[in-house]
Amino acid sequence: MNLVTAFLLVSFPTLCVSFRPPQMFGGRPSTGFRVRNFDAKTKAELDSSPYTTPWNFTQKLDHFDSSNTATWTQRYWHSDKFAKPNGPQFLMMGGEGPGSYYDVVYEKYPHILWAMNVSAGLWALEHRFYGGSRPFPQQTTENLKYLTSRQYLADVANFIKYQNQQLGLTNPQWVIFGASYSGALALWFRELYPDVAVGAVGSSGPVYAKLDFYEYLQVVEASIRTYDNTCAQNVKIAFQKLETYMTSQAGRDRLTYYFSLVPAFKNLNITYEDIENFYSTAIGNFQTAVQYSRVNSNLFKNHASIPELCKIMNTPAADPVMNIVWFYVYMTEIMESPFQNIDNQWQDTIQYLQNTGYENEGQAATRSWTWQTCNEFGYFQSTDAGGNIFGSKVPNNLYIDMCTEVFGP
């Protein structure tokens, strides 16, 4: 089945059963930055490893308040498959999603290949407030004050010092690894704790936190243009047409039909946030395809990348907006599940983020990361630069409003 005809087989229900966030939400894929779409055979092999069981570490709640003696249980994974006595230790930083034993058993990961070469022990320490590492049973705003990058960096330092004692290391040589957010953590750790780690490898780490990160979409555009300038122009034409539709009720009805929006625009007491949120959702899959384009790993090795994006956007269509729709359907179905509809109400997004429980691990991780961006980093990927192929309908203020509505002023 080709990329375009796949769309034609999709059915569009008229009722949304439950809110489902878009693939790219707040700059973070719904599965976290560490995408692990292993095929069934590979996953079965990994699951059979003797190093899959998580261990527990008693961690301090607040490393910066000596009067606070509270502790909690943090998960980690360890493999000594390649380790030699008193040898180096490699630790993979936890990121903005649940941790996994994959980080100590998947032997195609670069840090594990390097561990084989130097006989290193392997460790993965889950980030506080993600996965099973829960200092509190609820993620209330009051509890989330303990979710900061500096607290996690101190978690890592405390953990390493403890393991040095347990292993009896006379000359500990720890190297810290991470990718994306955890890549920034790895580099920050080496700077803040030079006496604890001898080195760090941070892949694509956004070490410079910026509130209005409008440059992100500039890089997305540049990447598409580098691959195919005609493709970039077709993206621009499609989004210009989409903006035209948004200016009239008839146009919004057309968008509702094209994208299978639930609720329909005509059934909304429409706000600026509803409109801006729709644009953000439409742009999100372009971000994903560029961010992971041909990373030579799992799904993105041959799919869901810039070549597929451009194949769809360069397909002749009576209405260029349909190319955006086809691309959205393609990305949804290849990464997640059969396309059903797109949730289209800003307040549904807010309510989703206001859930303080851990019943849904992915939802909990999205709330945790949203807190971190609102409280500490920003990284808000707006269209405020202007003049780009996606238009200028996703202002930084949309994210500021989100932070205020979810966590309070």
Residues (pLDDT < 50) of the chain are 1-17
- How much is the pLDDT for 349? 94
Residue whose pair of structure tokens reads 């001898």 in the numeric block: 198
Report, in angstroms and rounded to the nearest whole number, the Rg of the chain calculated over CA atoms: 22
Q: Tell me if the domain spanning 40-203 has CATH number 3.40.449.10.
A: no
Residues 6+ apart with CB under 8 A from 236: 389, 390
Alpha helices, DSSP H, located in 205-320: 215-227, 229-245, 249-259, 272-291, 306-313
Tell the burial category of 110 from Cβ atoms under 10 Å away from its Cβ (0-12, 13-18, 19+): exposed
**Cα of 97 vs its chain's centroid, Å:** 8
Burial readout 353-378 (b: 16 or more C-beta within 10 A, e: otherwise): bebeebeeeebbbbbbbbbbbbeebb
Specify the DSSP element, H or E, that contains 29.
Answer: strand 28-29
Amino acid at 70: A
3-state secondary structure 144-172: HHHCCHHHHHHHHHHHHHHHHHHHCCCCC
- How much is the pLDDT for 36? 66
- How much is the pLDDT for 293? 76
Q: Which long-range contacts (CB under 8 A, 24 or more apart) does 104-108 make?
A: 104/51, 104/77, 104/78, 104/79, 105/46, 105/49, 105/51, 105/52, 105/79, 106/38, 106/46, 108/297
**pLDDT tens digits along 25-63:** 666 666 565 556 677 888 899 999 999 999 999 999 999
Q: Are 214 and 382 in contact (CB under 8 A)?
A: yes
- How much is the pLDDT for 8? 35
As a whole number of angstroms, the distance between CA 307 and CA 63 comes to: 47
Burial readout 163-175 (b: 16 or more C-beta within 10 A, e: otherwise): bbeebebeebebb
- How much is the pLDDT for 23? 64
Q: The dihedral of CA 126, 127, 129, 130: what is its sign?
A: negative
pTM of the model: 0.90
- How much is the pLDDT for 287? 94
Residue whose pair of structure tokens reads 């500021």 in the numeric block: 400
**pLDDT tens digits along 260-290:** 999 999 999 999 999 999 999 999 999 999 9
**Domain ranges for the chain:** 3-32+211-407, 40-203
- How much is the pLDDT for 334? 84
- How much is the pLDDT for 189? 99
As a whole number of angstroms, the distance between CA 68 and CA 62 comes to: 6
